[in-house]
Structure 1
Amino acid sequence: MDTTTIIRNSLLKAISYSTYRNLIDKYEAEGKSSGTEQTQDQVHYTALNQKRYKRLDKTIEIPEDKAQYFASYDKSVCLLVITESWCADAAQIVPVVHKIAECNPKLTMKLVFRDENEELMNLFLTNGGKAIPVVIFLDLEDKVLAHWGSRPSTATQMVAEEKAKNGKLTPEFKEELQKWYNQDKGTTIISDFIKILEEIKDK
């Protein structure tokens, strides 16, 4: 199956941010998570992420100059996000993407769950792994213009350095990474997205 067909099949299952947030509310209330597995960890992180989503939905603000950039962007782009409710990085990233899309009706955001869209996920692996979230930038004909993920550029560098040093991500590092997200307040994601939007403007 070609890439465009896989993307179009996934778009048929895509949901809005408000529907996604309502689903996470529901999962938390029922003691569940999204995804094909229902481990204790995934249920725990879904509940924890629900708090993060609620906080970030209220507190994330796009600086005025950056908001103006997004608002005046004149190319229609769909931001297709691959995510799951239990993913800690997604809980820090997806609300920021939502705020970006809110700046301009030409920037539409749609979300799909990773485990329900295996063929799509396999097109956008990170070092061979199914890391999420991934944001796919699509034109009006569902052609891939670019993709981003699974972490902001600074966090990606931090993770690479930690893996080079310790061979894995320790619980202490994961805590440090969450602190970095809280301090960064979406700034790096916003800069990353402006860079990509500039690159794809004439594609």
Structure 2
Amino acid sequence: MNFTDYLQLFENILQDAEPKAPYSNPDYFNYTKLNWSRQQRWLKTGVIVEDIAAAVKNITTPQQWVIITEPWCGDAAHIVPFLHKIAALNPLITIDIQLRDTPPFLIEQYLTNGTRSIPKLIIRDRDGNDMAVWGPRPAECQVLYNRLKAEKADFERTKIELQQWYNEDKGKSLQAELLEVLAAVQKVTPA
């Protein structure tokens, strides 16, 4: 689905009087509600840095950016809006959003240490060949997540500390890492 369809799916979940699983679980529904607000905030206030904007504008061959995500995913609420804004800078980039928990279960081909962690960005060339895979979160945020996991932090603490990290970072780490990914892709893209 494209980004507009993804936003509509998000809204449909939040407006459904009897949402389907997993959103029938109040916790998942509330995560989704929070994530909608976070996503909307980044769509309005997220700043794309000049380096990544220039790199994206210099892409001269079509690319498809496949984003594997789910509306309930907290990391995705902070990452997907930036990916959308960045891709929108070049009409040669199309976005295809795939849901992790819905067939064809594309995530099974892009596991992170054996887990179905999201979001994942797969950058493909015009022929559908994978050129790069990124995700599920910026490296510095992953270090924080791993530390919290090692400390056996409860879900509430983990959620709060990751949220604080994303709020302070403002998408800068994602953009710096994506810039490196795009630089590597440009070097291997056939002329």
Q: What TM-score, normalized to structure 2?
A: 0.90
2:179 aligned partner: 194
- Give deviations 1:107-155, integer Å, cap 9, x for gaps: 2211011111354111111121111111111111111111111111211
1-side partners of 2:102 and 2:164: how far apart? Answer: 30
Amino acid at match of 2:52: K
Select the residue among 131, 135, 140 that pairs with 2:126. Answer: 140
Q: Residue 158 of structure 1: CA displacement?
A: 1.4
2-side partners of 1:151 and 1:34: how far apart? Answer: 27
Which runs of 5 or more residues in structure 2 are unaligned? none
Q: How does 1:138-177 map to 2 (within 5 A)?
A: 138-164=124-150, 166-167=151-152, 170-177=155-162
The answer to whether residue 77 in structure 2 is matched with residue 91 in structure 1 is yes
Percent identity, aligned pairs only, is 33
What do you get for the CA RMSD once the two structures are aligned?
1.9
1-side partners of 2:19 and 2:86: how far apart? Answer: 26
**Which moved further from structure 2: 34-43 or 61-70?**
34-43
Select the residue among 164, 170, 182 that pairs with 1:179. Answer: 164
Aligned pair count reads 188
1:19 aligned partner: 5
Q: Residue 76 of structure 1: CA displacement?
A: 2.3
2-side partners of 1:35 and 1:144: how far apart? Answer: 32
SS in 1 for 2:95: strand
Shift in CA distance, 28/79, structure 1 to aligned 2, threshold 3 Å? same
1:58 aligned partner: 44
SS in 2 for 1:73: coil
1-side partners of 2:62 and 2:40: how far apart? Answer: 28
